[in-house]
Amino acid sequence: IVVGDVSDHGIASALLMTSARAFLRQRASKTGYLNQILADVNRELARDVEDSGRFMTLFICEIDRPNIIIRWVNAGHDPAFTFDPNAGNFEELAGHSLPLGVSEKAAYQEFQRKISPGQILLIGTDGIWETHNKTGEMFGKEALMEIIRNNYTASARQIVDTVTEALGQFRGDEVPEDDITLVVIKVDR
């Protein structure tokens, strides 16, 4: 599962995302740990963008269903987090390395931990919590977490829809400043 966010907007950023996606798909088709995959993708991307100042943040993870383990690498992206409805708490999936494209020599660390059936995994882009309303107030991560707390029994699709609706209501007539991406995964019982 991969969520990325390219710096800036426009055609150049879209081309960077397309290149990153192609590099990632090609490299992920071969064996290797997540941190090795990202290091290889980063080397290719850094060569393409070295003089442009462009970069991309990326969060990549895999869920080992038989062992109920999640493995992840964070390349400069906002941390993903899990919600445990039984305990009522959120936990960040920590770890922070350089974004892709910043340095050809960047190293990436892979993390892992057990997850429990019933937990919810959320991976998003900063366009969600940095959405502003007409008074300049930001939506914030707390508002997102409150939506998750109140809707954890809903399907993953319904949770995404509820967040999207809440963002639209919060923003009102304001033009969106950034794109939003949200992936919600519910761990099977």
Q: 44-100 pLDDT, tens per residue?
A: 999 888 777 788 999 999 999 889 899 999 999 999 999 999 999 999 998 889 999
Residue 137, CA atoms < 13 Å, CB-side half-sphere: 10
Distances (CA, A) of 31 to 19, 26, 88, 96: 20, 11, 37, 23
pLDDT at 19: 86
pLDDT band at 176 (very low <50, low <70, confident <90, very high): confident
DSSP tag of 162? H
Weakest mean pLDDT among 4-8, 57-61, 111-115, 136-140? 4-8
Secondary structure of residue 58 in the 3-state scheme: strand
pLDDT of residue 189 exceeding 70: no
